[in-house]
Amino acid sequence: MSKSSKESASVGKGGELHQRANTVLTTNHGMPLSDNQNSLRAGERGPTLLEDFVLREKIFHFDHERIPERIVHARGSGAHGYFEVTKAIPGLTKAALFSKKGNQCPVFVRFSTVAGSKGSKDTPRDVRGFAVKFYTEEGNWYLVGNNMPVFFIQDAIKFPDLIHAVKPEADRGFPQAASAHDTFWDFISLMPEAMHMVMWAMSDVALPRSLRMIEGFGVHTFRLVNAEGKSTFVKFHWRPKLGAQATCWDEAVKISGADPDYHRRDLWEAIAKGDFPEWSFGIQTFDEAWAAKQPYDVLDPTKLIPEEDIPVEVIGRMVLDRNPDNVFAETEQAAFLPTNIIPGVEFSNDPLLQGRLFSYLDTQKSRLGTTNFHQLPINAPICPMANFQRDGMMQTAIPKGRANYEPNSLNEAGEYGGPRAQPDRGFRTFADNNERNDPTEKLRIRAESFADHFTQARMFYRSQTVPEQAHIAAALVFELSKVQLVHVRTRTLAQLRNVDEDLAQRVADGLAMPLSKAETPAFSPQDMKPSDKLSLMKKFVPTLEGRKVGILFDEGSDLAEINSLKSAIEKAGATTMLIAPKVGGIKVKGGTLAAEGQLAGTPSVLLDAVALMLTKDAATKLCGESAAVDFVSDAFVHLKAIGHDEGAQPLLEKAGVVPDEGITSLDSSFIKAAARRFPAREPSVRMLP
C-alpha cells in the first residue's frame, strides 16, 4: 500500500478531519484550488458560469454557517479549565470524581445573559447563566445554573410564559435585553411566586462587574447518593475567588455604549494574560427530616436555604485557564443538558427541574440539527463511550459490525457481543424518589408547601445594606416607570407591600403614585432572620486583585511617579491602563510615554479606580475637554476611588468632585481605597427613592 493510500485508510478509519494539517488551500472535499479570488466567467466580462462548483461550495457554506441561536441564554462567553476536588465526600456520593482529594477533570464553562439575543449587550439588568460541563471518567456531568440561587417560577409549565413576557413585545419587537416594559411586569404582577426572584433581579447582583466576579448556583435541590444507597439532599454553590462585585446602574448603561462586549472582553483578556479566574465549589447538604421542619419547601425553586441555617461546605475549586480556539465550534455549539449526571448525583422532584429534564434535549435537536450533537468535540465525553445507537444525520463515527441491537450473540463485537449494562457499576435511579411521603397518585396540583411567595423575598430585601436597599427601590422605580399600563404598576405595588411596606412606599413615591391596597397572599409572609450572605456589600472582598486601574496623564506628568504608582498597583494584583488625550507618545518629565488608551475612547466606566497624574496646566487645559470631565465625574458618581496629585485639582473641581475618604493622594492610601467603592457618597450624587 502506498503512503497516500495508507494515510487515506487511516483517516477513513478514524473518521476525523485534520483541516490544519495541509498548507494547500482546498475545497471541503480536499481538491487543491488554483484561485480563490475570482469566479469562473464566460470571457473576461461575461456572466458567471453555473459550473463554478468552487464558488457554489463557498457561497453554500457561507449561507448555512449559522445555526439558530438559543431561545434564552443566547449571548454567551465560554472558557476551558479544570475542576479539582479539595475535600473528598465518599460518605455522601459514590461519584468517582469526589472519591479522593486531588481528583481533577477538565471543564468547559459558558456564562450568559438570559433575555437578550445573541447580538445584545453584555451589561443589561439580567440573570447570568453559569453552566459547567464536567468531563469526568464516568461521563459528562452538566451543572446548568445561574448567578442567583432562586428562580421566577415554581413549575416548568410556566417557563414559556415567563420568557415570552420578558422577551421583546410581540407586536413591536422591543425592548431588547430588558425587563423594563409592560409585558414582563404584567406577568410578574400576576405571579406572586416570582417576587423573591424579582428582589434578586432588581438588586446589584443583576449588574455584575465581571463574569469573573459572579457567584453560581445549581438553583434546584439535587440528591447525592452514596455506595450504600443512602440519599442526601444537596444545593450546589460556586464562589468567585475575587469576590462578587457589581456596577452601578448608570455605570452599566454607560458601559454598554462604550463597550457592549465588556464582560466577554474582560474574561478573554484575563485568561489570555494568565490571570486565571477561579471559583470554590461548595455544597449545602441536608436530609428529609431536616427539610420537613422548614417553613418552606426545599423542592420549591423560588426558595433558598440560608447559609446561617446550613453553611456552605467547600469541596472543590474550578480554574479557567484557556480561551476557546473557535467561538462557534465551542461556545456556540456547546450543548448543556440537566439530564447529564453521573452515578452518585441525582434529581429531586422539584417541578421546575423536572420540566428542564424534559425540555433541553429538544432544544439541542432544534439548534444543532442532529441527534448526533453529542459527537461534536465540545460535547463529546473524554471517557470510553459505547452503545448500539447508530446512524442519524451527520453521523461522524463509523460503527462496525452487523449487530446494532442488544442483547446479541455475534462474537464479532467481542466475546459478549458488544457493550452490556453493568448492574454493579451502572447508574441506578434512587429508589425512593417520593419526598415528604407525598401521595403517589398523579395530580395536576401545586403543593400547599409552595404557597409562601413573600417570606424569602422579605428576608432577601431586609438582608441588604441601606445602599443596596436603595438600589432595589431605584431599580423598581426605573423598571416600572417604563411600564405604560397603570393597572400593572398598581398591581405590582400591591405585591411589594407583602415584601416590605417601606420598599413599597419608596417605589410608590418614586413613581408619584398612591400606594395600592395590599394583595392578600395565599400564605401570610413570616419574618425570617436576615442573612448577611445575601448581601454583596456585607461579604465584599476588599482586594485589588483582578481589577483594572486607569492612570490619566498628559504633557509634563512625571514618568518616575507614574512608573512607581503603576508598580504599586500591579504589586497589589491589579492591572493598569495608561490613558492620555493622545496615544502615540506624549512628552513627560523624564522622557516620552505612549498611552494604552485614548481618553475619549476609554471612559472611566471601563475601570475600577482612576489616578490623575497631571500638572496644573494640563489639568486646566483638560477642563475644556468633555471626555476628561466625564472621565472624572463618572468615576466620582460611580463611587470609585480617585487618586490625584496636586496639579489635578482644577479638573477635580470642574468635575464636581467633593472630598471624601475615596478621594486620596497618590500614596498607599490610594492603593487601599482603590480596592473598594464608597456607597456613603451616593446620596450626594444621585436622588434615590
The answer to whether 196 and 527 are in contact (CB under 8 A) is no
Q: Is residue 579 domain-shared with residue 516, that is, in the same domain?
A: no
Whether the CA torsion 221, 224, 225, 231 is positive or negative: it is negative
Instruction: Identify whether 146 is a catalytic site residue.
Output: yes
Q: Is residue 367 domain-shared with residue 460, that is, in the same domain?
A: no
Q: Is residue 122 domain-shared with residue 221, that is, in the same domain?
A: yes
Q: Would 37 be classed as within a structural domain?
A: no
Q: Of 73, 181, 263, 453, which one is the catalytic site residue?
A: 73
Q: Is residue 177 domain-shared with residue 319, that is, in the same domain?
A: yes
Number of alpha carbons in the 13 Å side-chain half-sphere of residue 641: 26
pLDDT in tens, 95-136: 999 999 999 999 999 999 999 999 999 999 999 999 999 999
Residues in the chain: 689
* Residue 479: exposure state from Cβ atoms within 10 A (0-12, 13-18, ≥19): buried
Cα(303)–Cα(301) distance, integer angstroms: 5
For residue 434, what pLDDT is reported? 61
Q: Is residue 595 domain-shared with residue 522, that is, in the same domain?
A: no
CATH of the domain at 602: 3.40.50.880
Q: Would 256 be classed as within a structural domain?
A: yes
Q: Is residue 583 domain-shared with residue 678, that is, in the same domain?
A: yes
Distances 540 to 238, 241, 641, 677 between C-alpha atoms, Å = 15, 11, 16, 10
Instruction: Identify whether 73 is a catalytic site residue.
Output: yes
The answer to whether 249 and 125 are in contact (CB under 8 A) is yes
Q: Is the pLDDT of residue 248 over 70?
A: yes
For residue 417, what pLDDT is reported? 66
Q: Is residue 497 domain-shared with residue 566, that is, in the same domain?
A: no
For residue 13, what pLDDT is reported? 37
Q: Is the pLDDT of residue 645 over 90?
A: yes
Cα(548)–Cα(573) distance, integer angstroms: 9
Q: Would 434 be classed as within a structural domain?
A: no
The whole domain housing 221 covers 76-375
Q: Is the pLDDT of residue 9 over 60?
A: no
Cα(318)–Cα(323) distance, integer angstroms: 15
Which residues in 275-401 belong to E strands, given as ranges?
Answer: 278-286, 313-322, 345-347
Q: Is residue 579 domain-shared with residue 650, that is, in the same domain?
A: yes
- Give the residue-averaged pLDDT of 661-672: 97
Q: Would 666 be classed as within a structural domain?
A: yes
* Residue 621: exposure state from Cβ atoms within 10 A (0-12, 13-18, ≥19): middle
pLDDT bucket at 6, cuts 50 / 70 / 90: very low
Cα(333)–Cα(316) distance, integer angstroms: 27
DSSP-assigned beta bridge partners for residue 613: 553
pLDDT in tens, 184-211: 999 999 999 999 999 999 999 999 999 9
The string of DSSP letters for 574-640 reads -EEEEEES-SS-EEEBTEEE--SEEGGGS-GGG-SEEEEE--HHHHHHHTT-HHHHHHHHHHHHTT-
Q: Would 49 be classed as within a structural domain?
A: no
Q: Where are the alpha helices (DSSP H) in 26-100?
A: 53-63
Q: Is the pLDDT of residue 10 over 50?
A: no
Q: Is residue 172 domain-shared with residue 221, that is, in the same domain?
A: yes
For residue 411, what pLDDT is reported? 61
Q: Would 540 be classed as within a structural domain?
A: no
Q: Of 103, 140, 146, 147, which one is the catalytic site residue?
A: 146
Domain boundary among 534, 562, 589: 534
Considering the entire predicted model, what is its pTM? 0.90
Q: Would 39 be classed as within a structural domain?
A: no
Spatial CA neighbour of 201 closest among 449, 455, 478, 446 = 478
Q: Is residue 632 domain-shared with residue 604, that is, in the same domain?
A: yes
The set of cell numbers assigned to 54 is 468552487
Q: Is residue 571 domain-shared with residue 491, that is, in the same domain?
A: no
Domain boundary among 356, 375, 394: 375
DSSP-assigned beta bridge partners for residue 139: 136
CATH of the domain at 474: 1.20.1370.20
Domain boundary among 534, 561, 578: 534
Q: Would 555 be classed as within a structural domain?
A: yes
For residue 257, what pLDDT is reported? 95
Q: Is residue 142 domain-shared with residue 286, that is, in the same domain?
A: yes
For residue 660, what pLDDT is reported? 96
Quote the number of domains for the chain: 3
CATH of the domain at 285: 2.40.180.10
